[in-house]
C-alpha cells in the first residue's frame, strides 16, 4: 500500500499544516497523524503533539471505519486503538463490529480518504 506522502509527492500536491494553514506541512510521516482513515499533516512536531493530545477540540468530522459515514466526533465518541492507530466510531455498535473483525475493516488503512472500500 502506498503511504500518503508518496501519493501526494508523486502528484506534487502541497499540504498546509492542519492547525496552522498559513504554514506548509512537509510530507514527512513523522509530522502526520491518523485517526482511522483520516490523515492530518502538521508544520512542526509541536503542532502534531498538540493535536495528538487534544484532537477532539480540532476535528470537526471523521470517517467511521465501519459505515464510512462522515460524523462529528467528540471526546465521548467510541474509540479503540488497533495496529498502532486510533479509530473513532459514530456508534458503539460500529466499534463492536470493528473489534470483532478488525482486519475486515482496517484493510483500507493505506488508502487515501475518499477512495471507496473494496469488497
What would the pLDDT profile of 6-52 be if each residue is shown by its tens digit?
999 999 999 999 999 999 999 999 999 999 999 999 999 999 999 99
SS3 readout for the chain: CCCHHHHHHHCCCCEECCCCCCCEECCCHHHEEEECCEEEECCCHHHHHHHHHHHHHCCCCEECCCCCCEECCCCCCCEEEECCEEEECCCHHHHHHHHHCHHHHHHHCCCCCCCCCCC
117 domain-assigned: no
Task: Note whether 1 and 49 are same-domain residues.
Answer: yes
**65 and 48 in one domain?**
no
The pLDDT mean for the chain works out to 89
Domain-located, residue 47: yes
Q: Which domain holds residue 30?
A: 1-56
Residue 116: pLDDT over 70: no
Q: What is the pTM of this model?
A: 0.84
Residue 115 clears pLDDT 80, i.e. is over it: no
- Are 45 and 65 within one domain? no
The answer to whether residue 119 sits within a structural domain is: no
Amino acid at each position: 500500500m502506498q503511504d500518503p506522502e508518496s501519493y501526494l509527492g508523486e502528484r506534487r500536491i502541497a499540504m498546509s499544516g492542519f492547525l496552522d494553514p498559513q504554514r506548509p506541512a512537509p510530507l514527512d510521516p513523522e509530522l502526520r497523524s491518523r485517526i482511522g482513515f483520516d490523515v492530518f499533516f502538521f508544520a512542526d512536531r509541536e503542532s502534531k503533539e498538540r493535536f495528538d493530545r487534544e484532537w477532539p477540540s480540532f476535528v470537526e468530522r471523521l470517517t467511521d471505519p465501519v459505515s464510512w459515514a462522515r460524523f462529528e466526533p467528540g471526546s465521548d465518541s467510541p474509540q479503540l486503538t488497533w495496529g498502532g492507530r486510533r479509530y473513532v466510531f459514530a456508534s458503539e455498535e460500529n466499534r463492536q463490529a470493528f473489534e470483532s473483525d478488525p482486519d475486515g475493516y482496517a484493510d483500507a488503512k493505506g488508502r487515501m480518504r475518499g477512495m471507496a472500500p473494496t469488497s
